[in-house]
Amino acid sequence: MENKTVENVLITGCRGGIGRDTAIALANLGYHVFATVHRKESVEELKAYSKEKAISLEVFKLDITDPEDRKKVLDLDIDILINNAGIGESGSLTEIPMERVRKNFETNVFGTLELSQLALKGMMKKDSGKVIIISSLAGRLPLAFWGSYCMTKFSLSAAADVMRQELKMITKNVHVVTIEPGSYHTGFNQKVMATKYSWMNDSSYFSKNIVQIKKNEEANFALLERKSTVSIVKQIVKAVTTSQPRPRYSAPWWQTAGAQFLRILGK
């Protein structure tokens, strides 16, 4: 680890999954971790979990779509922001209700960007810091019936690339990093998959295909999802601990290679 002093890391969406596992890994490495959660009721839950594991986490509510919650970062000396919070809407883009797409963008893209801008204020002032954005391999390779989610992740990857290029002109010490997880069994994909069945029904263009779509998705995720988040958490830890991080980190390697290969083929 290249860091010499205790650095402050703020992570969004730490109720479980990749966010919580990353919070634990970084706390174990000696970072001061602000492990934030979407909802008030998750604060005590995560505090109890960290106590049980004897890990020191500073837990509070930060809904990234709430302007008042976002302002909390202004009072903290954040060295590293990890934008992990996210939601997903699935279903055909040809007919998905637009309010679902808007909500998806409001959280994943606008919430993340606004929070990053606020955290960057402090980082730019001290000319040091990292903004890490958890995008997805779905931000490289679009998937049918996951259009809304994929669009938000493409946008996030673009946002990170643009901010990185811009900041390079004025500083060598503030970094923007993209993390691209493949499929991990955190429950997230199942939640996203299910959203479409609350509105894609008998009147859908795809009403005759719905059973097959569900079968295919379940089979694909059963095959692809990694049980443990260790491989992606390792990549996030690399991005945090390296003084000159790469633009992007991804895992598992074989899903990254597969996504790159399909991209080259123009899929």
Ligand X SMILES: NC(=O)c1ccc[n+]([C@@H]2O[C@H](COP(=O)([O-])OP(=O)(O)OC[C@H]3O[C@@H](n4cnc5c(N)ncnc54)[C@H](OP(=O)(O)O)[C@@H]3O)[C@@H](O)[C@H]2O)c1
* CA dist list (Å): 243 to 3, 7, 128, 161, 237: 8, 12, 10, 18, 12
State the binding string over 96-125 for ligand X (x if CB under 6 A, else -).
Answer: -----------x---x--------------
- In whole angstroms, the minimum distance from the beta carbon of 173 to ligand X comes to 26
By beta carbon distance, the residue nearest ligand X is 17
Q: Are strands 174-181 and 129-134 parallel, antiparallel or unpaired?
A: parallel
When asked if residue 19 is in the footprint of ligand X (CB under 6 A), the reply is yes
Candidate residues 92, 104, 136, 235; the one interacting with ligand X per rule CB under 6 A: 136
User: Any idea what DSSP says for residue 146?
Assistant: B
When asked if residue 38 is in the footprint of ligand X (CB under 6 A), the reply is yes
Cα separation, 250 vs 59, in Å, equals: 27
From 85-93, 94-102, 199-207, 242-250, span contacting ligand X (CB under 6 A): 85-93
Cα separation, 253 vs 226, in Å, equals: 12
Residues in region 160-189 near ligand X by CB under 6 A: 181, 183-184, 186, 188-189
Residues in region 42-81 near ligand X by CB under 6 A: 42, 63-65
Residues 6+ apart with CB under 8 A from 208: none
Residues in region 195-254 near ligand X by CB under 6 A: none
Q: What DSSP letter does each residue of 184-203 carry, written as one string? A: B-SSHHHHHHHHGGGT-STT
Residues that bind ligand X in the complex, under the rule CB under 6 A: 12-13, 15-19, 38-39, 42, 63-65, 84-87, 107, 111, 134, 136, 181, 183-184, 186, 188-189
